[in-house]
């Protein structure tokens, strides 16, 4: 059988509801593809063979003959996935330890896709049909189950999942084909906490009580094959974890600098790009770094080359996910370079009339919904709710979004022109508008007490 790389998902900020999508639980486990024939092989994303570590999964041979299956291995403890116990099992090498852990922490293999059946490839068959084939081809066992999914009601499903203590959900287009190794807008992961799989390119020299370990880890992601520096993480470690991690990382020591653009405030030990860790963070700064990063865990099951920049730069995936471009006249997200400093205000007759302010930045339109319109008198303030980034093409859009689609209603251009930025920070944006109706200084200020997405829009004195 051919060896496959798993299809990957992009991250989006919020759940949504759509009849074009299905939704299932996002498990905190090890992603694996299994090859079931006379011999059974279960391989992680970095092609590590795991059947010896999880012998109970050998029941697959009796449940799903002549198939290639995609899924997630988890270990449950007290009703929740226990990632630490799972990693302990995946790292065991002694037969006695493997046997003991299999009895103490039995694994569950949750299957959510099928890539081959009886030698026939199924990659070009829509997901919803592959789900039907999976159900008819694979019986459930003691340790092997099929992933359950629901259709359409993603927002309610997400809330219910969080109440059960699950980290998030997956959203998948019903008509999506299986694209091995590709991070696709057709598969989305929606998590309450923001996390990123990062490559560790080095560590800084520790001081004080960290003198024998390290100060912080140097993190990077790949952008079109080139490593890009995204910051350092120095919190989230226990003393025991730091000591073990230092010994593990030193096996990857290199003699040369492996990542450019790193601040040299402390002595750095450079590492070959072989170790992946999961890092939580609050936001992305304007210069593309992780804000308030916290170390979570090492991910030995992930290949460093899969750790790409689009995890934190989602390339309009929120905008794309919310729309069916076979039904709405809105423009799809094409690849365009940053053209300049345009702005547009669109009058949007949806369920309630509101105005959408969009400012061009970094090749997209940063967007806010302003329920009561743009202030035109100095000192006026209006609530502005930040929404998903829109493609540059949207700045020319006028038309009717049909019923059943996100934002259904009529869109007209109210004003457009250029703007001159004065300041653009995480909590305050100031600019001078030069439009047909709007002229002068405007200020957007984060209104944190009212919610993460809420801002106040002011017309300033000129």
pLDDT at residue 336 in the model: 43
User: Which of 438-451 are b and which e, b meaning 16 or more Cβ less than 10 Å from the residue's Cβ?
Assistant: beebbbbebbeeee
Q: pLDDT band for position 80 (50/70/90)?
A: confident
- Which residue bears the tokens 């992930």? 302
Report d(CA 212, CA 272) in Å as an integer. 21
26 is catalytic: yes
Report d(CA 434, CA 206) in Å as an integer. 51
Across 38-49, average pLDDT = 93
Average pLDDT, the chain: 91
Indicate the class that CATH gives domain 195-311.
mainly beta
Q: pLDDT band for position 326 (50/70/90)?
A: confident
pLDDT at residue 163 in the model: 85
pLDDT at residue 137 in the model: 96
What is the DSSP-derived secondary structure letter of residue 132? H
**Catalytic pick among 26, 131, 446, 459:** 26
Q: Which of 39-48, 212-221, 255-264, 314-323 has the lowest mean pLDDT?
A: 314-323
Across 95-115, average pLDDT = 96
Across 94-117, average pLDDT = 96
Query: Tokens representing 318?
Result: 């929120």
Q: CB count, 10 Å around CB of 50?
A: 19
Across 205-222, average pLDDT = 95
pLDDT at residue 335 in the model: 45
The model carries a pTM of 0.62
Judge whether residue 338 has pLDDT over 70. Answer: no
Higher pLDDT, 106 or 339: 106
Do 8-191 and 195-311 have matching folds? Answer: no
User: Helix, strand, coil proportions of the chain in percent (round to 5)?
Assistant: 20, 45, 40
Does the domain spanning 8-191 belong to CATH 3.30.470.30? yes
From residue 80, give the alpha-carbon distance in Å to each of 97, 167, 388. 23, 10, 32
Q: pLDDT band for position 315 (50/70/90)?
A: low
Judge whether residue 178 has pLDDT over 50. Answer: yes
Report d(CA 172, CA 194) in Å as an integer. 19
Judge whether residue 1 has pLDDT over 80. Answer: no
How is the chain split into domains, by residue range? 8-191, 195-311, 323-459
Do 292 and 281 contact (CB within 8 A), yes or no?
Answer: yes
């Amino acid at each position: 059988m051919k060896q496959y790389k798993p299809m990957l998902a992009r991250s989006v900020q919020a759940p949504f509801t759509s009849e074009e999508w299905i939704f299932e639980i996002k498990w905190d486990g090890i992603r694996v593809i299994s090859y079931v024939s006379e011999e059974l092989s279960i391989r992680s994303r970095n092609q590590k063979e795991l059947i010896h570590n999880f012998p109970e999964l050998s029941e697959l041979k009796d449940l799903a003959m002549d198939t290639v299956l995609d899924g997630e291995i988890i270990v449950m403890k007290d009703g929740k996935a226990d990632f630490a116990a799972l990693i302990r099992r995946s790292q065991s090498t002694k037969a006695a330890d493997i046997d003991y852990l299999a009895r103490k922490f039995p694994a569950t293999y949750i299957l959510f896709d099928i890539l081959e059946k009886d030698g026939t490839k199924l990659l070009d068959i829509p997901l919803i049909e592959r789900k039907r084939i999976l159900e008819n081809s694979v019986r459930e066992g003691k340790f092997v189950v099929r992933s359950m999914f629901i259709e359409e009601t993603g927002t309610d499903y997400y809330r219910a999942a969080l109440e059960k203590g699950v980290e998030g959900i997956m959203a998948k287009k019903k008509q999506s084909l299986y694209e091995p190794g590709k991070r696709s807008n057709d598969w989305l992961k929606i998590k309450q906490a923001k996390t990123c799989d990062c490559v560790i390119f080095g560590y800084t020299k520790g001081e004080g009580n960290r003198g024998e370990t390290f100060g912080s880890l140097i993190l990077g992601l790949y952008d079109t094959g080139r490593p890009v520096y995204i910051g350092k993480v120095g919190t989230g470690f226990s003393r025991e974890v730091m000591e073990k991690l230092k010994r593990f990382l030193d096996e990857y020591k290199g003699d040369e600098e492996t990542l450019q653009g790193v601040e040299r405030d402390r002595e750095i030990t450079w590492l070959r790009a072989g170790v992946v860790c999961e890092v939580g963070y609050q936001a992305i700064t304007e210069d593309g770094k992780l804000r308030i990063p916290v170390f979570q865990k090492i991910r030995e099951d992930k290949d460093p080359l899969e750790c790409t920049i689009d995890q934190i730069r989602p390339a309009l995936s929120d905008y794309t996910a919310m729309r069916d471009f076979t039904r709405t006249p809105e423009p799809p997200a094409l690849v365009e370079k940053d053209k300049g400093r345009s702005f547009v205000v669109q009058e949007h007759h949806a369920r309630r009339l509101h105005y959408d302010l969009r400012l061009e930045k970094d090749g997209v339109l940063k967007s806010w919904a302003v329920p009561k319109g743009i202030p035109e008198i100095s000192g006026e303030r209006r609530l502005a709710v930040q929404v998903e980034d829109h493609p540059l093409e949207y700045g020319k859009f006028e038309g009717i979004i049909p019923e059943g689609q996100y934002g259904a209603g009529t869109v007209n251009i109210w004003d457009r022109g250029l703007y001159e930025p004065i300041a653009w920070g995480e909590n305050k944006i100031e600019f001078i508008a030069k439009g047909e109706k709007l002229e002068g200084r405007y200020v957007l200020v984060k209104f944190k007490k009212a919610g993460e997405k809420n801002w106040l829009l002011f017309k300033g004195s000129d």
